Chains A and B, each alone.
Chain A
Amino acid sequence: MKELSINFLGYNFKNPIVMASGTFGFGREYGEFYELSKLGGICVKGLTAKPRLGNKPPRIAETPMGMLNSVGLQNPGVDAFITDELPFLREHDTVVIANISGNTVEEYVEMTEKLSDAGVDILEINVSCPNVKAGGMAFGTSTEGVTAVTEAVMKKATSPVMVKLSPNVTDIISIAKSAEASGADAISLINTLLGMRIDTTTRKPVLNNIVGGLSGPAVFPVAIRMVWQVATAVKIPVLGMGGIMTGNDAVEMMLAGASLVGVGTACFDDPYAPLRITKEIEEYMERNTINKISDLIGKVNTE
């Protein structure tokens, strides 16, 4: 029997696969396809202090082996999440991670208090959403911004806190270190890379928001590089994501230093992606006589 479970921030993830925020809603839709308890964990759709309608469509554009999105944090707000969605997620034996995004530091703190009280397992602090005008990535692109949000959140959080970083920065290591120094319990990365497409017939941007976040296999090598850089620079654990489509991709991500692996865009191609990827990880372990998946974390040989 292969040991797929990972202990991360004191929680037992039954496998390293975590559904990435924004691609899996609050689990209800994919929960019609398979039991959510088969998943290591679920990062819920990004929450804001107040309900948000998001950006005008079109919100998606295909790119070579990837896609741009500009949803703009459409969500029912943190209060509705706690009353209407969290009880449903709690019916399933999987780790629930609440992703939060604020316009201001105060909003991050307000949501942290509410979600800690509601007993979500882990908080994911989104300082990296590229699709909103205020807050979001504005905090995540400077060490000062990351420090301000993280320090404020850590004062009020009773659940462990993971900071989700943006790849749209020149020095990911200094940003990651500032999150660690501010008390973050873990780091997740990468959020989407800012991108743009233009319709050559109409000469208009494909996305109504003009720019959007790139995800999918196209970003995978960038994600591997950044996870490796961050994991070697900080002592806190890392959840790695960005373009994971196969079990082999997931293993690569763990070798780069990720303790957990986020899967998102893959579901649009294959609703069963997390289950298939988990199965493929097991097959890799069989082939390579690895008994514990945790033995792979950070084991890339750069000598």
Chain B
Amino acid sequence: MVYTTVAKISGLSGMSDPTKRKMLMPDVFLCEIVDKKTLADAVVSITVSCNELARQSSAGQFLHIKCGETRLLRRPISICSLQGGNIRFVFEVKGEGTRWLSEQEIGDELNILGPLGKGFNIPNGKIIVVGGGVGTPPMLLAAESANGKAKKTNRLAPGESRKNDVIAILGFRSADRIILTEEFIKICEKVIVTTDDGSAGIQGAVTKPLEELLKSGEYSAVMSCGQLLMQKAVADMCAKYNVQCQVSLEERMGCGIGACLVCACATVNNSGTTAQDSSGTVIENTEMSRVCIDGPVFNASNVIW
């Protein structure tokens, strides 16, 4: 069954009055796979070619990818890097959909809705990016964007070879799960690796080296992506040292554009409104944000963990 409209081809896309449609808008694109690599067991990197998609994308945004004609729901996967008209994403094979995706080959076309979501608001100053496991990939583009911003704001003199002020802390279960570190090394001042079992880098959680860095008082912001518990620990650590923290959250999604309300995340709302929870209890200062469009990147201080 082929249900999906590729709007550009079918002519259904856009407004009859073009001024009504914003210049940059997500859309459905058919994208050819131009590169595919296995980075670790069941962790796959795929690069697709699509100028329009790449041009609109920014760090922290995601692609909503159709995984075969027999699965109804798209899979949301973060953007890992951008190069010219190419857009790369890295994912772990977790179920049927991602398995299908991992079986696609160079030359095959993917049906992608994107780019979606609110990405990282790249801060000024010295920055720490924290990635945990398969939450690491989007932090590569975040680090690159921070790098680019540092250059633009003349933190680096023209021709200066020193890498800018981005430090990466990357946490993995074990040495064989490590991905993308060489690429972080190319763009970060320093890359610190931690593993749960100590088989590589520092043994323990990412918060250990994070605390050391935050103590120095030199860093103005932290950006993070990974499992919820790790991110909460990162957010708590940043709060302790009064450093701004942005977290990229993950949730099962439906539409991906903010209409269906399935990817909910409780956040702080101080506008004085109240709402009933599912048991009818009145809750104050809380709203359910949509991870797909209000996020996936949130200010950690707004998240109700």
Asked if residues A62 and B71 are in contact (CB atoms below 8 Å), the reply is yes
Q: Mark A9-34, 1 if CB is under 8 A from B, else 0.
A: 00000000000001111001110111
Binding site for B on A (CB under 8 A): 22-25, 28-30, 32-35, 45, 48, 50-62, 64-67, 69, 71-72, 74, 77, 103, 132-134, 209, 216-217, 245-246, 265-273, 275-276, 279
List 18 contacting pairs A-B, 8 Å CB cutoff, sorted by A: A25-B258, A29-B293, A30-B257, A32-B22, A34-B14, A53-B266, A53-B276, A53-B277, A64-B70, A67-B254, A69-B254, A134-B280, A268-B260, A269-B3, A270-B4, A272-B10, A272-B13, A276-B12
Interface majority SS (helix, strand, loop, mixed), chain A: loop
Q: Which residues of chain A have C-beta atoms less than 8 A from B1's C-beta?
A: 245
Task: Determine how close the nearest CB of chain B comes to the CB of A219; give it in whole angstroms.
Answer: 11
B279–A52 CB distance below 8 A:
no
Instruction: Establish whether residues B251 and A53, one from each chain, have CB atoms under 8 Å apart when the complex forms.
Output: no
State the CA gap A235–B3 with chains docked (Å): 34
**A67 touching B288, Cβ below 8 Å:** no
CB of B112 closer than 8 Å to a CB of A: no
CB–CB B252/A271 < 8 A: no
Interface centre among A28, A33, A56 (most CB of B within 10 A): A33
Query: Chain B interface residue count: which class?
Result: 35 or more
Q: A133-B278, A269-B3, A273-B3 are in contact. Are A58 and B251 (CB under 8 A)?
A: yes
Known pairs A29-B259, A66-B72; list 20 more (Cβ under 8 Å).
Answer: A25-B258, A30-B257, A32-B25, A33-B257, A48-B276, A51-B274, A56-B264, A57-B262, A57-B265, A60-B254, A60-B263, A62-B97, A69-B262, A133-B279, A209-B278, A268-B72, A268-B256, A269-B72, A271-B255, A272-B13
Residues of A within 8 A of B293 (CB): 29
Do residues B28 and A23 form an inter-chain contact, with CB atoms below 8 A? no
> Across the interface, which residues of A come within 8 angstroms of B15, CB to CB?
34-35
Q: Which of B3, B4, B7, B259 is packed against the most chain A CB atoms within 10 Å? A: B259
Partner of A53, one of B71, B253, B275: B275
Given A33-B27, A34-B13, A276-B10, residue A23 in contact with residue B265 (CB < 8 A): no
